[in-house]
Amino acid sequence: MELSLYHLVRQPKVQQDKSPLLLLLHGYGSNEEDLFSFAAQLPDEYLIISARAPYAMPGGYGHAWYAIDFDADMNKFTDDVQAVQSRDAIAAFIDEVVDAYPVDKDNITLIGFSQGAILSYAVALTHPEKTSRVAALSGYLHNTIIGDINSKDLSKLRFFVSHGIVDQVIPVDWARKAPEFLKTLGLDVEYHEYNVGHGVAPQNFYDLLNWLNK
């Protein structure tokens, strides 16, 4: 099915009139096949869609939701204009998926890794009507790409946040700020840390499955 973002689909193993949706958002320099490798182990009742980010990386391998640039001192800068465009592209893609597939629009979960997690936070907080749950794996809350949340009803949002304590790409201190901020908004947050780097440990995946099944 031709939608605005290229994607892979795992049909639900348990058919319903309207299925809950898991939308998988990969990290920087990866692609739609990365998180989709988990699909077989995810709960049977979900329609699972893994989307490809819109920006191709130089050299033809991998994709990004937005560019990350380095200056001469190796300071890292994110292209926030591209990030906001991707945030809104994902929100629009959710609407397309709801129109194209038999999806329960009130039961949509975003699972993002790294850059995909950063975008998942931004989509959920900027467009809270489009999703109910977010699993943010190895990411952080990037405030400058989140729209005005004061006028939004965030009450139904629930978050699963996880991070490696020796993450060399995104420091764990950055990750810890997200659950603190979300709790100030009165939101339901489950937070886990693991003794790993920038990746998803087996225990992390097990805890994520438990959270999904709650």
What gap in Å lies between CA 184 and CA 82, rounded to an integer? Answer: 28
Strands (E), 71-137: 76-78, 103-113, 133-137
Please report, in angstroms and rounded to a whole number, the separation of the first and last CA atoms in the chain.
31
pLDDT score, position 74: 56
Q: Which of 173, 125, 50, 86 is nearest to 78 (CA)?
A: 86
pLDDT score, position 59: 79
pLDDT score, position 78: 86
Side-chain-side CA neighbours of residue 8 (13 Å): 16
Query: What angle, 0 to 180 degrees and rounded to 10, lies between the N-to-C axes of helices 115-126 and 80-100?
Result: 70
Contact indicator for 209, 42 with CB cutoff of 8 Å? yes
| Topology classification of domain 7-213 | Rossmann fold (3.40.50)
The one-digit pLDDT tens for each residue of the chain (214 residues) are 689 999 999 999 988 899 999 999 999 999 999 999 999 999 999 999 999 999 999 877 799 999 987 666 656 778 999 999 999 999 999 999 999 999 999 999 999 999 999 999 999 999 999 999 999 999 999 999 998 898 899 999 999 999 999 999 999 999 999 999 999 999 999 999 999 999 999 999 999 999 999 8
Sequence-distant (≥ 6) Cβ neighbours of residue 160 within 8 angstroms: 133, 134, 135, 136, 189, 190, 192, 207, 208, 211
Exposure string of 50-85, with b = 16+ CB inside 10 Å and e = fewer, is bbbbbbeeeeeebbbbbeeeeeeeeeeebbeebbbb
pLDDT score, position 162: 98
What gap in Å lies between CA 67 and CA 63, rounded to an integer? Answer: 10
pLDDT score, position 139: 96
- Tokens found for residue 213: 């099944």
